[in-house]
């Protein structure tokens, strides 16, 4: 089942709920089966790791955990604040996402 989500990898998003409310970050990964996104610098958790090739010392590593996409809004490219997303056909007949606040297309 391939769902269309309002956010994509690489989008700048605003967190509107949870401990990181009010922060913005770039989407690093989308997990469609769980409706979650991993956002840079948001929802940091401490992970205990054994020594391995990447981390020869092992220990406690801080990394991002998933955030439910219902708690994220795309940042408007024109106005800079959070906005809802719509879909429409552009002048070339391609379906594109646009910001409802400013009407500007989101790349």
The mean pLDDT value for 75-95 works out to 93
pLDDT tens for 36-83 read 999 999 999 999 999 999 889 999 999 999 999 999 999 999 988 999
User: Residue 2 above 70 pLDDT?
Assistant: no
Q: Is residue 16 part of a domain?
A: yes
pLDDT, position 55: 87
> What is the dihedral sign for C-alpha 32, 35, 41, 46?
negative
Confidence (pTM): 0.84
Say if 104 falls within a structural domain: no
Q: Which tens digit of pLDDT belongs to each residue from 11-42?
A: 999 999 999 999 999 999 999 999 999 999 99
Residue 4: inside a domain, yes or no?
no
Contact 17, 42 (CB under 8 A): no
CATH of the domain at 48: 2.30.30.30
Give just the sign of the alpha carbon dihedral 8, 102, 84, 89.
negative
Residue 103 lies in a domain: no
């Amino acid at each position: 089942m391939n769902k269309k989500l309002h956010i994509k990898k690489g989008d700048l998003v605003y967190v509107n709920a949870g401990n990181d409310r009010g922060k913005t970050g770039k989407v690093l990964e989308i997990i469609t089966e769980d409706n979650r996104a991993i956002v840079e610098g948001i929802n940091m958790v401490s992970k205990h790791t054994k020594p391995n090739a990447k981390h020869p010392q092992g220990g406690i590593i801080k990394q991002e955990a998933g955030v439910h996409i219902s708690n994220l809004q795309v940042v408007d490219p024109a106005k800079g604040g959070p906005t809802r997303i719509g879909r429409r056909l552009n002048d070339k007949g391609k379906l594109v996402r646009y910001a409802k606040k400013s009407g500007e297309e989101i790349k």
